[in-house]
Copies of this chain bind each other. A is one copy, B any other.
Amino acid sequence: MTDVDHPPSAAQQREAVVDLLGVLAYAELSAFERMASDAPLAPGLEQRTALGEMAVAEFGHFVALRDHLTAMGVDATGAMAPFVGPLDDFHDSTAPADWLEGLVKAYVGDGFASDFYREVAEYVDDVPTRELILAALADTGHAQFVVDQVRAAIAADETVGGRLALWARRLMGEALVQAQRVAVDRDAMATLLVGGGDLVKIGELLARLTARHTERMELLGLKS
């Protein structure tokens, strides 16, 4: 998991793991709040409840991550603090205008987070941390509901597909802008994930995340 030329010290590894848990924790907390806020856009109470259930699942992940930080002797609030700005900026720049945009955002965000969990799990040596991350990953099973809703909307109105494809591209663009900002600011985390400033590995990581995003767009019936 380490760059062969520059193996990180135990202190650097710990700093990086705290960053990873911090960014994931704040991502889950803010996703919970935004999804719950977006739920009233739903066309009916059943769909609204389904988005509420997704939001509550995110909050459960947040609690697990926060408690894990606390058990490591880390102040969870401090660990999340560096990521509040980038994640709030992402959400503020991608407020959904309607129910379908909200659904696609929940799906893209949940999927991106899952991919990120999967990448992170491979790079983290600490066994309890890796198990926590894999547990959060296993628990995100609300995707089929979104796929069904979006495909039905496209079937009913072809123009919806084009509009949502553009929206998904914008979401991914804004996410990558903020991810780069975080990578620049948080050296230890970037080093853990891709080795010390290794641009080829950063490129490969982004390529993998983008490829999985494309697969998800195809499942929704959208061009990515």
Contact = CB atoms under 8 A, between A and B. Distances in A.
A5 interface: no
A36 B32 contact: yes
A39 interface: yes
A48 interface: yes
A195 interface: no
A75 to B, nearest CB: 10
A76 B62 CA distance: 29
Interface string A27-57: 0010011001101100011101100110110
Q: Interface SS of chain A: helix, strand, loop or mixed?
A: helix
A52 B77 contact: no
B40 A33 contact: yes
Contact of A36 (B33, B44, B49): B33
Given A37-B37, A77-B45, A59 B66 contact: no
A78 to B, nearest CB: 9
Contacts of A53: 59
A80 interface: yes
Contacts of A45: 26, 29, 76-77, 80-81, 84
Given A56-B56, A56-B59, A59-B56, A48 B36 contact: no
Nearest to A84: B45
A66 to B, nearest CB: 7
A33 B84 CA distance: 21
CB-based closest 10 A-B pairs: A36-B36, A37-B37, A45-B77, A33-B36, A56-B59, A33-B39, A56-B56, A45-B80, A52-B59, A46-B77
Interface of A: 26, 29, 32-33, 36-37, 39-40, 44-46, 48-49, 52-53, 55-56, 59, 62, 66, 76-77, 80-81, 84
20 contacts: A26-B45, A29-B49, A29-B52, A32-B36, A32-B52, A33-B37, A33-B40, A33-B52, A36-B37, A37-B37, A44-B77, A45-B76, A45-B77, A45-B80, A45-B84, A46-B77, A49-B62, A49-B66, A52-B59, A53-B59
